[in-house]
Amino acid sequence: MNKSIISVAQESKSWPFEEARKILKRLEKSGSNSAVFETGYGASGLPHIGTFGEVARTSMVRHALKVLDKSIETKLICFSDDMDALRKIPDNILNSEILSENLEKPLSDIPDPYNKFSSFADHNNNLLKEFLDQFGFEYEFASATDYYKNGNFDETLSKILENYEAIINIILPTIGEERKKTYSPFLPICPDTGQVLLAKVLDYNTKEKSILYEHPNTQEEKETSILGGKCKLQWKADWAMRWVALDVDYEMAGKDLIESVTLSGKICKAIGGFAPVGFNYELFFDEKGEKISKSKGNGISIDDWLKFASKESLILYMYQNPRRAKKLTFDVIPKAVDEYQSFSEKYPNQEVKDQLSNPVFHIHDGNPIIIESPVTFSLILNLVSASQASSKEVIWGFIKGYFDDISEEATQYIDQLVVFALEYYKDFVLPTKKYRKPEKQEIEYLKTLKENLLEMENETDPEKIQTIIYDIGMNSHFDSLKDWFSALYEILLGQTQGPRLGSFIILYGVKEVIDLIDKAIEGKL
């Protein structure tokens, strides 16, 4: 790694480098030369875009650490909590009666409702791995069921038992009076029903590694080992146990888990471990302002996004402002696509300091793909909207009519944008498209615009056309230029927002825009 890049990275204010420097301090204190990153996945529902975001962001921090010190060995563990009990039925699962019949059992012991895999957990785990693999993430998958049953956690489970009272004292002040009566960090697995029991622990034996509990259904006293998958832990204790057992150095979590991170950190310390470093990111919300949830299946899925935009634009959206709450709805896609293109175009001419703060550096692990395209996704989308085209050939006709020297790389990139734009228009623009009839004064402005355009049929400079539109707006009755441009979008394009009109008119064609104006005046749009 270039020394100048390392020195700049040591001062960079981009959040992946800020996080990586926290890990370096931790490793310096422990004397370790390896770092373990972890992300957690709740296998009770289908993987969603929030899960992807956590892996994407963690991978960026992992790469930033390698930039700072390439000698550090790193690995990312994607851990599935697939031994958790299914306490409620997700809203977006087919054949949910299979789940209803197996409530309270570990996810890995419930049949797959889709009849494709060995269990419900196995089905969801495979979906998780599939969509992480398509993005090329480097990770190790880990299953809670495997780790519990194979004895990988036995040593740390013993530490939990040995520090039982200390852990109880950490948790009890944070829960309600009713729950305090039966709370235990250990959840025995019923040997008869296979259910994960919320049982009252009557006694424990550190020598035998066992607990004595009261069965919540029969009130019988039963004894069971805590090892080998015969018990699992309540999740705050489970999280802490996992940090210690896997030597986790870094894990980020949603803002809704701040209290849980704190409590798990205290448990971690109680059993002789050190909680990982990390930060709490803000959550994604759907169009109703509700938190994206894997059980509800609300918000955008990975497949949804990739139908309308590139994977790079999705990763960009994950990179930007992770500590700020953001909506995750379809209307954010066009902006994300164009911002990715803009960042890519800027990168080659930036100084190292700015390159390391450019999202494309982190999206592509320091080797960004440079895009040089004469058109943006938004502009193509507006071409589709204005022409109401349903084929690539129509849109390419406009583009090639103005740009006659497009590189092969740009052609491939633009072709992809055209495909995305056609899909996006069909699903989101066309259903809401509504042309507004111009008012009397607006008709006069449109006639003035038409007269000017008739004298500019061979014009190739979009700024000259933009200036004409600007001047008409300045001399209009509108309170602001924004209102004037909004009126043009509503009247000529049937939408509330639109492109920079000078560029759009050149690309779409002056004659074609004049035709739009005539139809608008005649009320034929």
- pLDDT tens-digit profile of 229-249? 999 999 999 999 999 999 999
Answer yes or no: is pLDDT of 260 > 80.
yes
CA distance 349 to 441: 47
Contact between 213 and 202 under an 8 Å Cβ cutoff? The reply is yes
Length of the chain: 525
Residue 518, number of CB atoms within 10 A of its CB: 14
**Which one, of 203, 209, 198, lies nearest residue 221 by Cα?**
203
Residues 6 or more apart in contact with residue 232 via CB below 8 angstroms: 83, 84, 106, 144, 148, 186, 187, 189, 196, 238
Determine whether 440 is exposed, middle or buried from the number of CB atoms within 10 Å of its CB (0-12, 13-18, 19+).
exposed
Segment 292-319 shows an average pLDDT of 81
CA distance 32 to 310: 38
69: exposed, middle or buried (Cβ count in 10 Å: 0-12, 13-18, 19+): middle
More confident residue, 109 or 297: 109
Which pLDDT band, with edges at 50, 70 and 90, does 116 fall under?
Answer: very high
Beta partners for 327?
Answer: 285
Judged against a pLDDT cut of 90, whether residue 415 lies above it is answered with: yes
CA 68/CA 27 separation, integer angstroms: 13
Handedness of CA 137, 138, 143, 146 (dihedral sign): positive
What is the rounded CA–CA span in Å between residue 238 and residue 225? 17
User: What is the residue-averaged pLDDT of the chain?
Assistant: 93
Alpha carbon separation from 473 to 446, 487, 489 (Å, rounded): 11, 10, 13
Q: At residue 452, does pLDDT exceed 70?
A: yes
98: three-class secondary structure by DSSP: helix
CA 367, chain centre distance (Å): 22
Residue 1 has pLDDT above 90, yes or no: no
User: Residue 367 pLDDT > 70, yes or no?
Assistant: yes
DSSP annotation string for 146-159: HHHHTTTTHHHHHH
- Asked whether 276 and 250 are in contact (CB, 8 A), the reply is yes
Question: What gap in Å lies between CA 371 and CA 413, rounded to an integer?
Answer: 8
**Measured distance between the N- and C-terminal CA atoms of the chain, rounded to whole angstroms:** 59
Q: What is the pLDDT of residue 143?
A: 97
Please check the confidence at residue 10 and state whether its pLDDT lies above 80: yes
Residue 411 has pLDDT above 60, yes or no: yes
Q: How many other CB atoms sit within 10 Å of the CB of residue 405?
A: 6
What are 119-139's pLDDT values in tens digits?
999 999 998 898 889 889 999
**CA–CA gap between residue 73 and residue 482 (Å, rounded):** 54
pLDDT tens for each residue of 204-229: 999 999 999 999 999 999 999 999 99
- State the Cα–Cα distance between residues 308 and 337, nearest whole angstrom: 10
HSE at residue 258, side-chain half, CA atoms within 13 A, is: 8
Amino acid at 523: G
pLDDT band at 293 (very low <50, low <70, confident <90, very high): low
State how beta strands 221-225 and 200-205 pair.
unpaired
**CA-based torsion, 334, 337, 343, 346: positive or negative:** negative
pLDDT digits (tens, 9 = 90+) for 23-52: 999 999 999 999 999 999 988 877 778 888
**Pick from 419, 420, 392, 389: nearest CA to 512:** 389
Are residues 211 and 231 in contact, defined by beta-carbon separation less than 8 angstroms?
yes
